């Protein structure tokens, strides 16, 4: 009965979405305040309905109601409660429902928090949210309904794929969806601006907080996914250039470029066409990702069960949304005339180059991801485009980008004196060269890690240089400089954290290139040496879990005196219901890296094969990414950049921002 209420809520939400859309568009066109207000109310109602439907599904999982086919296919009574809840979005139908819930959330948020937006813009944004919601709700109701029932009701369910029974499932998809779907608001802003025919500094300012919020969630979501892969899949890899991973990187790149491009649009009234295009592209990449995961055209670790009808349905939605938006762009964008003039060597110039490099990076990844499909369609050949390709095309693009990232923030607007800027970066340059020489000549590291560390150093030193430049006044001592630094606007620290976080992340990635691997076979009691650490294998015990049995190995890390410094317990788990096994690595993190041990296979003599890795600086990868996200949050909290920031009535606005 309750399930039917959830189903009904979906249908109702669809009707409300259509109303939201119609009222919003008509209201904006005719400047009818009543219609626009109703549209905003509809947005909130749609969210409440969908949230209700979502909780109905969650309830079905928690009580293990196997009359609901979705619960039967993906759950089991013995599954721990956390995974019963998280399992709601661990399958196609449930995750699709989460998608529309978040879509409605952002629509409602614009309705409630968008008070300082011009009413027609706000109304069109809400209307577009309604239209998108409506499209996806039709899809859900017709082809992905999570509330379908079955009779007779089976005793028990088929359990969730054991690889997904991990805390990562609780956080990675929701964060990622907040990012992906949050970009729909950016998309709506861009399309609404095109409809309006007006893209101006104010628009760039309004769109930024929403975009930044989505970016923060996307950054955290991607980082979490990468970390999950690292500890779950068993060999210390964290990025595989899998099609669906690429499908998350592309919107992230587009959004990053957008955030930077919007700065120029706001301050200099230039790059409008490009900014709007990036805003449309970011969500388009999100939709592409949705399509790839659910249609089956590409093999991927992330693919849900493939079903061509669903694929066709989603493709149709893509054609309407993306095709429609890009067509509209082609017609309307040429009339967006820019105003600001700037010299090629200037902050604007650097941001233009930044735009170009990031866009090329994103399109390159797109081409690489879709090329196998392209070749397969045009001939009978099948090729693979894997990590070796992606690394060889992205690294050459990343190099100028990172150099630029260091240089850009120090360039003044309109016109820059390159020699002067270079002078200010003397320190950063020297430190970078010192690091390069040190790593190359003294530590004799391989080339790629050296490059990674060198560029990370460059970026970090440039960030520090920028902060110092903003805080130091000639004649002031260290204390005064520090005080001034603390008083810098949050947005400035946000940028420092974002760029600095990337530098840390880059250093972590470079460190991963220095992985040491030990592959050996041990009897209990034997010890081995991993990068100078003594690890003693103490044997394997059988340990029962809630819905699995585990073979748990124990490794004792001892120092030279034999004192225990820690224990590592990797496991191999057997899940009887799903009839699959998983390997759980044991990871011990410290500031300088991860010690990573995996239990292998036993042989008839009772010895076990062991894989052990030392991954230098691995925690920096995800730590750096989280710092980037924190930087974004900090910027978001800067009141000057949010809608509704109070403005002084007295003096004209000549505040220097950033």
Partner 1 sequence: MTRLPLIGIFLFMTLPALAMQPEERLNDSGLEARARTISREIRCLVCQNQSIDNSDADLAHDLRRIIRERLTAGDSDAAVKDFLVARYGDFVLLRPPFRLSTIFLWLIPFAILVGGGISFWIMSRRTINPPVSLTREEQLRLEILTKDNS
Partner 2 sequence: MRWLYFIPVVIFLGVAGIAGYFLLSGENPQALPSTLIDQTVPPTDLTLLGDTSRLTATSFAAGKITLVNFFASWCLPCRAEHAQLMKLSKQQDVSLTGIAWKDKTEDARSFLQELGNPFGRVALDTSGRTGIDWGVYGVPETFIIDGMGKIRYRHVGPIMPQDIDRIQAVLDKLQP
Give the single-character DSSP code of 592.
T
Could you tell me the CA-to-CA distances from 632 to 217, 357, 401, 500, 628 in Å, in that order?
9, 21, 19, 12, 6
User: For partner 1, what does the binding mask look like between residues 125 and 144, x meaning CB under 8 A?
Assistant: --------------------
Beta carbon of residue 609, minimum distance to partner 1 (angstroms, whole number): 5
Burial class (CB in 10 A: 0-12, 13-18, 19+), 425: buried
Indicate the Cα dihedral angle 288, 293, 299, 303, nearest 10°: 170
> Helices 272-295 and 308-318 sit at what angle, rounded to 10 degrees?
170
d(CA 229, CA 233): 6
Q: How far apart are CA 436 and CA 451, in angstroms?
A: 8
Q: Is 411 helix (H, G, I), strand (E, B) or coil?
A: coil
Residue among 210, 219, 216 nearest 187 (CA): 210
Confirm or reject binding of residue 286 to partner 2 (CB under 8 A): no
Looking at the chain, the number of H-run helices and the number of E-run strands are 20, 10
Question: Which one among 290, 359, 471, 615 touches partner 1, defined by CB under 8 A?
Answer: 359
CA distance 637 to 428: 29
Nearest by Cα to 180 from 172, 168, 190:
172
| Total binding residues toward partner 2, as defined by CB under 8 A | 34
Q: How far is the CB of 127 from partner 1 (least distance, A)?
A: 18
- x/- letters, 172..211, toward partner 1 (CB under 8 A): ----------------------------------------
Of 199, 201, 295, 200, nearest to 247 (Cα)?
295
- 3-state DSSP assignment of residue 197: coil
Question: What character string, x for contact with partner 2 (CB under 8 A) and - otherwise, covers 239-278?
Answer: ----------------------------------x---x-
Listed ranges 14-22, 364-372, 412-420, 625-633: which one lies at the site for partner 1 (CB under 8 A): 364-372
**What is the C-alpha to C-alpha distance for residues 253 and 261, in angstroms, rounded to an integer?**
12
Structure tokens at 629: 């996200």
Name the binder of 578 from partner 1, partner 2, none, CB < 5-8 A by kind: partner 1
Phi, psi of 459 (to 5 degrees): -65, -45
For position 382 contacting partner 1 by CB under 8 A, the verdict is yes
Q: Among 197, 330, 379, 560, which residue sits at the site for partner 1 (rule: CB under 8 A)?
A: 379
Residues 242-281, mask of contacts with partner 1 (x by CB under 8 A): xx-------------------------xx--x--------
652 touches partner 1 (CB under 8 A) = yes
34 touching partner 1, by CB under 8 A: no
Which region, judged by CB under 8 A, interacts with partner 1, from 15-23, 297-305, 436-444, 548-556? 297-305
Residue 211 · residue 219 · CB < 8 Å? no
Q: Is 194:332 a contact under the CB 8 Å cutoff?
A: yes
Among partner 2, partner 1, none, partner that 327 touches (CB below 5 to 8 angstroms by kind): partner 2
Q: Which residue in 520, 525, 523 sits closest to 607, CA to CA?
A: 523
Sole binder of partner 2 in the list 72, 230, 329, 390 (CB under 8 A): 329
How many CB atoms sit inside 10 A of residue 70's CB?
Answer: 28
Task: Tell whether residue 386 is a contact of partner 2 (CB under 8 A).
Answer: no
- Contact between 381 and partner 2 by CB under 8 A: the answer reads yes
Q: CB under 8 Å to 525, separation ≥6 — which residues? A: 536, 537, 538, 539
Q: Give yes or no for residue 579 binding partner 1 (CB under 8 A).
A: yes
Residue 118 touches partner 1, criterion: CB under 8 A: yes
Restricting to residues 583-612, name those near partner 1 by CB under 8 A.
583, 598, 600-601, 609, 611
Q: How would you class 481 by CB atoms within 10 Å of its CB: exposed for 0-12, middle for 13-18, buried for 19 or more?
A: middle
Among 320, 341, 418, 483, binds partner 1 (CB under 8 A): 341
Rule CB under 8 A: choose which of 37, 333, 558, 643 binds partner 2.
333
- How far is residue 654 CA from its own chain's centroid? 35
Name the residue nearer to partner 1 (CB basis): 1 or 381.
Answer: 381
Least Å distance, CB 37 to partner 1, is 13
Q: What residues between 530 and 549 interact with partner 1 by CB under 8 A?
A: none
Q: Which of 145, 171, 232, 338 binds partner 1 (CB under 8 A)?
A: 338
Select from partner 1, partner 2, none the partner in contact with residue 657, using the beta carbon and a kind-dependent cut-off of 5 to 8 Å.
none
Indicate which single residue of 319, 433, 483, 592 sits in contact with partner 2 (rule: CB under 8 A).
Answer: 319
Query: Strands, DSSP E only, in 31-112?
Result: none
Among 55, 240, 326, 389, binds partner 2 (CB under 8 A): 326
Q: Which of 55, 371, 413, 528 binds partner 1 (CB under 8 A)?
A: 371
> Does the footprint of partner 1 cover residue 649 (CB under 8 A)?
yes
Which of residues 330 and 441 has its CB atom nearest to partner 1 in the complex? 330
Handedness of CA 496, 499, 501, 504 (dihedral sign): negative
Among candidate residues 252, 200, 206, the one with its CA nearest the CA of residue 226: 252
Q: What is d(CA 42, CA 131) in angstroms, rounded to the nearest whole number?
A: 12
Interface with partner 2 by CB under 8 A: which residues?
273, 277, 280-281, 284, 291, 295-299, 308, 311-312, 315, 318-319, 322-323, 326-327, 329-331, 333-334, 370, 373-374, 376-377, 380-382
Interface with partner 1 by CB under 8 A: which residues?
73, 116, 118-119, 158, 161, 233-235, 237, 240, 242-243, 269-270, 273, 299-301, 303, 305-307, 337-341, 352, 356-357, 359-360, 363-364, 367-368, 371, 375, 379, 381-389, 392-393, 397, 519-521, 578-579, 581, 583, 598, 600-601, 609, 611, 647, 649, 652
């Amino acid at each position: 009965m309750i399930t039917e209420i959830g189903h009904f809520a979906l249908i109702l939400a669809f009707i409300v979405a259509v109303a939201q859309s119609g009222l919003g568009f008509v209201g904006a066109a005719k400047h009818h305040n009543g219609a626009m207000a109703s549209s905003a109310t509809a947005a909130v109602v749609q969210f409440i309905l969908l949230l209700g439907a979502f909780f109905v599904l969650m309830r079905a999982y928690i009580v293990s109601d196997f009359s609901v086919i979705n619960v039967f296919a993906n759950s089991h009574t013995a599954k721990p409660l956390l995974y019963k809840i998280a399992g709601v979005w661990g399958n196609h139908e449930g995750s699709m429902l989460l998608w529309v819930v978040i879509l409605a959330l952002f629509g409602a948020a614009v309705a409630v928090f968008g008070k300082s937006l011009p009413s027609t813009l706000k109304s069109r944004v809400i209307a577009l949210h309604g239209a998108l919601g409506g499209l996806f709700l039709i899809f859900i109701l017709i082809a992905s309904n999570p509330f379908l029932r079955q009779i007779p009701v089976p005793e028990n369910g088929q359990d969730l794929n054991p690889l997904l029974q991990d805390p990562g499932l609780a956080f990675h998809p929701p964060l990622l969806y907040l990012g992906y779907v949050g970009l729909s608001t950016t998309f709506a802003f861009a399309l609404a601006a095109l409809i309006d025919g007006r893209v101006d500094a104010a628009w760039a300012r309004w769109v930024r907080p929403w975009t930044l919020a989505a970016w923060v969630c996307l950054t955290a979501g991607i980082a979490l996914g990468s970390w999950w892969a690292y500890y779950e899949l068993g060999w210390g890899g964290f990025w595989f250039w899998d099609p669906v991973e690429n499908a998350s990187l592309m919107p992230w790149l587009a959004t990053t470029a957008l955030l930077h491009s919007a700065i120029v649009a706001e301050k200099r009234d230039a790059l409008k066409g490009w900014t709007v295009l990036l805003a449309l592209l970011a969500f388009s990449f999100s939709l592409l990702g949705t399509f790839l995961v659910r249609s089956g055209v590409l093999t991927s670790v992330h693919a849900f069960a493939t079903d061509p009808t669903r694929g066709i349905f989603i493709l149709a939605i893509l054609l309407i949304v993306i095709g429609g938006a890009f067509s509209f762009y082609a017609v309307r964008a040429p009339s967006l005339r820019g105003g600001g003039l700037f010299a090629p060597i200037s902050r604007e110039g650097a941001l233009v180059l930044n735009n170009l490099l990031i866009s090329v990076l994103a399109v390159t990844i797109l081409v690489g991801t879709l090329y196998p499909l392209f070749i397969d369609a045009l001939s009978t050949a099948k090729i693979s485009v894997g990590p070796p390709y992606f690394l060889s095309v992205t690294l050459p693009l990343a190099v100028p980008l990172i150099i630029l990232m260091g240089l850009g923030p120090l360039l003044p607007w309109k016109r820059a004196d390159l020699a002067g800027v270079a002078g200010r970066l003397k320190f950063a340059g020297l430190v970078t060269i010192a690091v390069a020489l040190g790593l190359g000549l003294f530590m004799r590291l391989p080339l790629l890690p050296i490059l990674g560390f060198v560029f990370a150093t460059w970026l970090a030193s440039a960030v520090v240089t920028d902060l110092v430049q903003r805080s130091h006044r000639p004649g002031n001592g260290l204390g005064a400089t520090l005080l001034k630094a603390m008083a810098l606007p949050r947005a400035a620290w946000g940028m420092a954290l974002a760029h600095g976080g990337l530098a840390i992340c880059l250093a972590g990635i470079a460190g991963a290139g220095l992985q040491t691997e030990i592959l050996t076979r041990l009897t209990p009691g034997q010890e081995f040496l991993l990068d100078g650490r003594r690890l003693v294998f103490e044997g394997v015990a059988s340990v029962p879990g809630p819905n699995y049995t585990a073979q748990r190995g124990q490794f004792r890390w001892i120092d030279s005196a034999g004192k225990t410094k820690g224990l590592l317990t990797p496991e191999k788990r057997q899940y009887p219901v799903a009839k699959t096994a998983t390997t759980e690595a044991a990871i011990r993190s410290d500031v300088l890296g991860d010690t990573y041990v995996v239990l292998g296979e036993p042989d008839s003599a009772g010895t076990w094969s062991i894989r052990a890795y030392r991954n230098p600086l691995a925690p920096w990868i995800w730590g750096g990414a989280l710092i980037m996200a924190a930087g974004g949050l900090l910027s978001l909290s800067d009141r000057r950049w949010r809608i509704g920031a109070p403005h002084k009535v007295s003096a004209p606005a000549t505040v220097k921002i950033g």
